Structure 1
């Protein structure tokens, strides 16, 4: 496992260099490594709230659910998409934009023990990054924003955006020419059975965007679909808590879900791949 060191100052975009437990840019902006090993690169002036992103409880629910292996087929599809077209000779720098508690990067690292990888996870939630850093020291974990990725331009081979908020202009800036974005979104039937329980009526999940982002070419879409049975209330509660439906559903709908002993749901995930065009010219927005 390689270490990803091409970090950028979130204030001026200049390269950061490490000295002990501190990272500094040429202008003197400095950022200390937390004792858990992660780096906080989200300046207070770029926060939209005091504690942005997923809460501590939401992160804990997601950690329990994902570590139980319920989304393992999704992780396997992501791993295959990352490595299928990549040669074995060169190191592969991969960033998970909106990494949460790091499940997908951990799975990527575990399935590529013999490969040279430099992994970095970025999330706006300090609770998510704290949980990620506690579980695995191999990737570089950063508190930061997809709108202002704290990495140098043209340094990444792959960007993952899994059930997150893509910022394609930033992805294009950070990727090398020919680098790839792998984006996972809920398919129309994703968790349909749960939604039928918690909402008075449901609409199909909004389909993933069909347009090719500026500066990219389409490499195709894969659908990961399977049936999943949750056999206890705790797992059902964790699934609900880790989704936006926990906040969107009416109170009576959440109560109905809390009383379930078992639940079988459809998992449907659309996995899209984009390749960065070589002719794209990017600048660093700060």
Structure 2
């Protein structure tokens, strides 16, 4: 199963189809967006920014890259890849969007798994990959690691993607915008989400917070335009040895900013930590 770039992009200013040239993406109205030297394109208009440098910082992206490449969340990546590729067509192209792709770890692992799938001679489907993130640092890091995908600086609130052209949308520890996901998915396409379960990183949270909040209710509500498919819960243990991976984990989660100064100091003093990973993989099909 070969991996290719995704080209059904839309102009973030007027929604027109974007056409890829040698060094730019352009629409019929004349809006032009340069392709960076590293291969990504910036499709986040100033009016859609909430700050001058939105999303994860360069330091947060580096921390996530180190932590994920160490393999701590490999079972999650494998479960996501398995779900994406469970019903691949016999031929044609399977288009997959990672909405909030970060530094591209999950799309890279998906491509690795897909490369081992063989179809009938001459009829193996292609996998077209698109990663969108609001952080330019994340997209830059992703583009440096994998040139076969399309990488875009953009926002889930206004995805620069043509309507009804995606087979799979991934939203992994991210911020779902169901109306936009429904818009870009083909009928019968699937949204796969990974969300923290009640015991996810409990041991770390017990260290950095005075008390833990009760689990949120209402997780079974199905968004408009979708139907629920059978999901799964992933639960496994990891061991972090040394101060750096513990610091990297804290830096790549919202807990870094939510914890008190005292809580961050306690975490910084750790030299080893046994943790529970508890996540829910939810699968929703576009009606």
> Normalised by the size of structure 1, how large is the TM-score?
0.95
Deviations 1:52-92 (A, max 9, x none): 11111111100000010000000000001101122332310
Match of 2:242 in 1: 232
Deviation at 1:19, TM superposition (A): 1.9
The partner residue of 1:267 within 272, 277, 283 is 277
Separation in 2 of the partners of 1:164 and 1:245? 14
- Superposition pairs for residues 44-83 of structure 1, below 5 Å? 44-83=46-85
In the aligned structure 2, how far is the partner of 1:124 from the partner of 1:205? 28
CA distance in 2, matches of 1:140, 1:230: 33
Trace 1:1-286 onto structure 2 (pairs within 5 A).
1-113=3-115, 114=117, 115-206=125-216, 209-277=219-287
For 2:37 and 2:218, locate their aligned partners in 1 and report how far apart those are by CA, in whole Å.
39
- Given the two structures, how large is their TM-score scaled by the length of structure 2? 0.94
What number of residue pairs does the alignment pair up?
A: 277
Is contact 1:190–1:205 with CA below 8 Å preserved after alignment? no
Taking the aligned partners of 2:242 and 2:190, their CA distance within structure 1 comes to: 39
Q: Is the 8 A contact 1:15 1:152 kept in 2?
A: yes
- Paired residue for 1:280? none
Q: How many angstroms does 1:265 deviate by?
A: 0.5
Could you say what secondary structure the match of 1:111 adopts? helix
Structure 2 residue runs without a partner (length 5+): 118-124
Q: For structure 1, which runs of at least 5 residues remain unmatched after alignment?
A: 278-286
Compute the displacement of 1:204 (Å).
3.9
Q: Could you list the runs of 4 or more consecutive aligned residues of structure 1 that deviate by over 4 angstroms after TM superposition?
A: none
Name the structure 1 match of 2:122.
none
Alpha carbons of structure 1 residues 173 and 105: separation in structure 2 relative to 1, 3 Å: same
State the secondary structure of the residue aligned to 1:80. Answer: helix
Query: How far does residue 208 in structure 1 lie from its aligned partner after superposition?
Result: 7.0
Cα root mean square deviation, aligned: 1.1
Is contact 1:188–1:207 with CA below 8 Å preserved after alignment? no
How far apart, in 1, do the equivalents of 2:4 and 2:42 lie? Answer: 21
